[in-house]
Structure 1
Amino acid sequence: MAKYYHGVIPPIITPVDEKENVDEKGFRELLNHCVDRGLHGIFVAGSNGETMALTQEQRDNAIRIAVDEVGSKVPVMSGVMDTSTRRVIENIKKMEDFGGKCAVITPIFYARHTSQDETVRLFEEASRQTSCDLMIYNIPMFTGLKLTADTVLKLAKIDKVVGVKDSSGDFGEFQKVLRVYADNPKFSVLQGSTAVSAGSMLEGADGYVPSIAPLFPELFTKMYDYAVAGNIGKTLELNAIVAETQKILGLCKNATASNKFALSLLGFTHKRVIAPQDGTTEADERAITSKVDEVNGLIRKAGLIQ
């Protein structure tokens, strides 16, 4: 039986209008598209959701909308990462006020990291002061601190901690955690690096968190299904197509801009990114559109869509 936090859980973009407020209508349509097409959950207000570029008000608004729109249908994991324990806990309490049930927490950032223990203290205090599920988020490229497997295993023992999303790209460290918790129904091990997701799930990971999954939902969910079933051949066959989807993110200076433009092709949302980030040029957009068409052709050839 699958754990509660499992499968394909995209770190959803945050569509914004010309004033950089959340485009509520487009966001709700995109969220429903994800759920209706079989994705297993939503990660809102993550790095792909431009969480630290949004104002605090709009960040809270994105979480509120996601929880309200699909929180009764699939697990919604909400990013509450911040620069101090107090700020993280305040973010969690706002999320709880909206009905949110799972807070995703990184190590603090924009600070000089002195130890792994500071993150342990952060989770311990969050556990004491809040009532929701807590998800570990290991993303050293943005926090400046890579959580070791030993630290993750220590955090996993804290009350209310329900899993880890590991975007460190360190497969060896990921495997150490997986060996302990692959069969534990109370702790989910999610791969945040799409490049190693197939191998991770074949070894027992509970799912993965690919940013472009809303554009190709059948591909990502089918690869998950094959991996869970232990079908190595089919998993690797679809993983080759998944690898092609990741090339889309590198077709302009800014992976988030590439992602937002690609997802705008669904017709729900605008390509706009929050200033002062680089957006897509016309040449970028032609290249992205061409690559999306190519991937859809590969998906049709694989028999996943008509």
Structure 2
Amino acid sequence: MSKNIIGVIPPIITPVDEQERVDEKALRLLIDHCIENGIHGIFVAGSNGECLALTQQERDRAIKIALDQVGGRVPLIAGVMDASTPRVIENIKRFEDMGGEVAVVTPVFYARHATQDETVRHFEEISKATSAKLMIYNIPPFTGQLLKAETVFKIAKIDKVIGYKDTSGNFPDFLKCLRYFKGTDFLLHQGATNLALPSLLLGADGYIPSLAPLFPRPYIELYNAGIRGDIEQAKKWAYIVDETCKIYPMAKSQTASTKYAISKLGFLDKRVIRPTEPITAEEERNIDRKLDELKEYIA
């Protein structure tokens, strides 16, 4: 296997209409916008895509639309996370039926995790039951389990597991992974945008930033400088990326702030799925001021 899922791969938002159904036209336009502006891949039905707020039917529909619109132009990965191994297997099988190839899998959630080994078994059972390639997704605030580097090493030995997205913020463990997998084809993506600079300089294959569709140039320039080892240019672009990330806490919900900011592209709505706290007029004004400061970087 050669590495092809590399670079800037945003977890795209899922535009929805008044009935909280996927806005197909807006989603297709968003995907085209990303690809036309040089984004390296698409992550659909991730946390930022409100994958578990959507009904199962709409979640599957979002994935199917994304697969169709991407059309093989860039790699596409899809979130199949769920509350049990059988449920994840069902999600992946539907994804495979749509033509999907790479599924992103978290530990199960809404569960009291007893051991790290249960997540190893989770991946073992999924691998036996499906044909898709699998990426490990470590996001402890949402799953209740912080995967240790040593657990990632075990899971990586399972057939069909090809990579790891780390949104734990535990940089020492990510460094262990960078050292352990150096020189292999195993993919390592940083999910915490504030850690993209050191991660890329030290060998990460890419990162997964939510706001990249709105600010593609600085995010791509940071990636390019990071993999070149150009520290000064990487620092320059990391500063801009850090400034864009100040948008996240400007609303009570990061989903709401992200959706509002990306809605400024003009072809999708800011609407979030219930019961997420909607953005207020004052929060919108604060984001607008920040966007005005960064207007030269907006695609």
TM-score bin, normalised by smaller chain: over 0.9
Measured in 2, the distance between the counterparts of 1:291 and 1:259 equals 13
Which residue number in structure 2 is paired with residue 107 of structure 1? Answer: 107
The AA in structure 2 aligned to 1:22 is: V
User: In 2 relative to 1, CA 71–170 (structure 1 residues): closer, same or farther, beyond 3 Å?
Assistant: farther
User: Aligned with 1:214: secondary structure?
Assistant: coil
**1:166-205 residue CA offsets vs partner (Å, 9 max, x unmatched):** 00000000010111213212x1000000011110000000
Measured in 1, the distance between the counterparts of 2:142 and 2:148 equals 16
Deviation larger for 160-169 or 69-78 = 69-78
Measured in 2, the distance between the counterparts of 1:94 and 1:295 equals 40
- Structure 1: any 5+ residue segments left out of the alignment? none
Which residue number in structure 2 is paired with residue 272 of structure 1? Answer: 271
- Structure 2: any 5+ residue segments left out of the alignment? none
The AA in structure 2 aligned to 1:180 is: Y
Which residue number in structure 1 is paired with residue 215 of structure 2? Answer: 216
Which residue number in structure 2 is paired with residue 120 of structure 1? Answer: 120
Measured in 1, the distance between the counterparts of 2:11 and 2:182 equals 22
1:294 matches 2:293: yes
Which residue number in structure 2 is paired with residue 170 of structure 1? Answer: 170
Which residue number in structure 1 is paired with residue 284 of structure 2? Answer: 285
State the shift of 1:296 in Å. Answer: 2.6
TM-score w.r.t. structure 2 length?
0.98
Which residue number in structure 1 is paired with residue 29 of structure 2? Answer: 29
Aligned CA RMSD, in angstroms, stands at 1.2
Which residue number in structure 1 is paired with residue 152 of structure 2? Answer: 152
Measured in 2, the distance between the counterparts of 1:182 and 1:230 equals 16
**1:7-64 residue CA offsets vs partner (Å, 9 max, x unmatched):** 0000110000000000000000001100110111111111111111100000011111
State the shift of 1:279 in Å. Answer: 1.1
TM-score w.r.t. structure 1 length?
0.95
Which residue number in structure 2 is paired with residue 225 of structure 1? Answer: 224
User: Aligned with 1:213: secondary structure?
Assistant: coil
User: Aligned with 1:189: secondary structure?
Assistant: strand
Which residue number in structure 2 is paired with residue 16 of structure 1? Answer: 16
Measured in 1, the distance between the counterparts of 2:71 and 2:115 equals 35
The AA in structure 2 aligned to 1:57 is: Q
Measured in 2, the distance between the counterparts of 1:293 and 1:229 equals 31
**1:98-117 residue CA offsets vs partner (Å, 9 max, x unmatched):** 11111100000001100101
Number of aligned pairs? Answer: 298
Identity %: 56
Which residues in structure 2 correspond to 1:127-146 (within 5 Å)? Answer: 127-146=127-146
Which residue number in structure 2 is paired with residue 260 of structure 1? Answer: 259
Which residues in structure 2 correspond to 1:228-239 (within 5 Å)? Answer: 228-239=227-238
The AA in structure 1 aligned to 2:238 is: N
Contact 1:223-1:238 at 8 Å conserved across structures: yes
Which residue number in structure 2 is paired with residue 242 of structure 1? Answer: 241
